[in-house]
A and B are shown apart, each in its own frame.
Chain A
Amino acid sequence: MSLLWVAVITASLGCYLLKLAGISLPKSALNQPTVQRVADFLPLAMLAALVAVQLVDGGGYYAIDWPILAGVGAALVVLLLRGSFLTVFLTAIAVTALLRLVF
């Protein structure tokens, strides 16, 4: 079994066990302000980090892929205009593909 398979199965079971723990643990364990706040903040820190890393990580050094940056910039404009998820997604890939085609 490849390392990637081990990682896929470990992460998948881990995510399932988190859900199972949530409906199995006593309410008092999870209903604490600190736990709630940390859980609320986690997706923010992680998602922001993922956006940033995807934009500037060239594999252990800083590198910017301009068509990707422009695609994500266009996606941001769509978000500001309150576009749907699908519009955001399609705009990002269309702008990036178009720029690659032209340059």
Chain B
Amino acid sequence: MPRRTDVLRAAIGIGIYAAAFGAAFGAISVASGLSTTKTMVLSLVMFSGASQFAFVGVVATGGSPFAAIGPALLLGVRNALYGVPVSEILQPTGWMRLLTAQLVVDETTAMATGQTTARARTYAFWATGLVLFALWQLGSLSGALLGSAIDPAAFGLDAAAPAVFLALLWPRLNAPARRWVAVLGAAVAVALIPVVPAGLPVVAAATVAVVAGMLPGRLGDRTRRTDAT
């Protein structure tokens, strides 16, 4: 069945990319003050790139570690929305539901919904999910061990987090409404830096998304879902 080979090849491509991305995460995480164990708990249990980077990024800015919870959760909300197409494809029940849930992320959803038959969708979800999960862990661990062995500032690793956020943001800025939300979110956060404790400016930026999402008509209609990180 040639289609399976194609899907598997694509899944491995995503996995290799994830290993590099995971290594970057591991290195930044230990540079932000998290131990290798904490880094791996994030990769194993949180298992969502943007949320993990946000968590360690806020921890790095100092202040209470609890301030890092909000941004991580807010970035995880989109995974809940991916649950709609994924549960239609897989219809998981019982303990399979618990296992399936962990693999519902950008890449698995995009790969599964991109197939034309029910069997191909199921195969694409599991192939991508399992390869991605394994290589994400491998990458995170390598990055964390490497990051622990070097001086992060000398290697410019403190520039990596904002660069990663920019790289994750970039492909999403594909409609005027989306660009406005990004600009206003950044403006709200920057304005609040001297006023509220570390971490809260980023959480406050979420109000821009909520308000813009609830506005009727034009703003919302112009957007299209095209997530692929």
Contacts and interface: CB of A to CB of B under 8 A. Distances in A.
Interface of A: 3-16, 18-25, 27, 30-31, 33-57, 59-62, 65, 67-68, 71-72, 75-76, 79, 85-86, 88-89, 91-98, 100-101
B126 interface: no
Contacts, number: 324
A79 B48 CA distance: 22
15 contacts: A14-B73, A23-B83, A41-B178, A42-B210, A43-B172, A44-B173, A44-B181, A45-B182, A45-B205, A48-B182, A49-B185, A50-B58, A50-B161, A50-B162, A62-B194
B104 A22 contact: yes
B186 A18 contact: no
Interface of B: 17, 20-21, 24, 33-34, 38, 41-42, 45-48, 50-51, 53-55, 57-59, 61-66, 68-69, 71-84, 86-88, 90, 92, 97-98, 100-102, 104-105, 153-170, 172-173, 178, 181-190, 193-194, 197-198, 201-202, 204-206, 208-210, 212-214, 220, 223, 225, 227
Contacts of A3: 64-66
* Chain A, interface SS category: helix
Given A34-B213, A45-B181, A72-B163, A56 B72 contact: no
A46 B205 contact: yes
Given A59-B61, A86-B20, A93-B160, A22 B209 contact: no
B77 A39 contact: yes
Contacts of B227: 43
Contact of B76 (A14, A30, A89): A14
**Most interface-central of A6, A23, A68, A96 (chain B CB within 10 A):** A23
Given A18-B80, A19-B104, A22-B83, A85 B214 contact: no
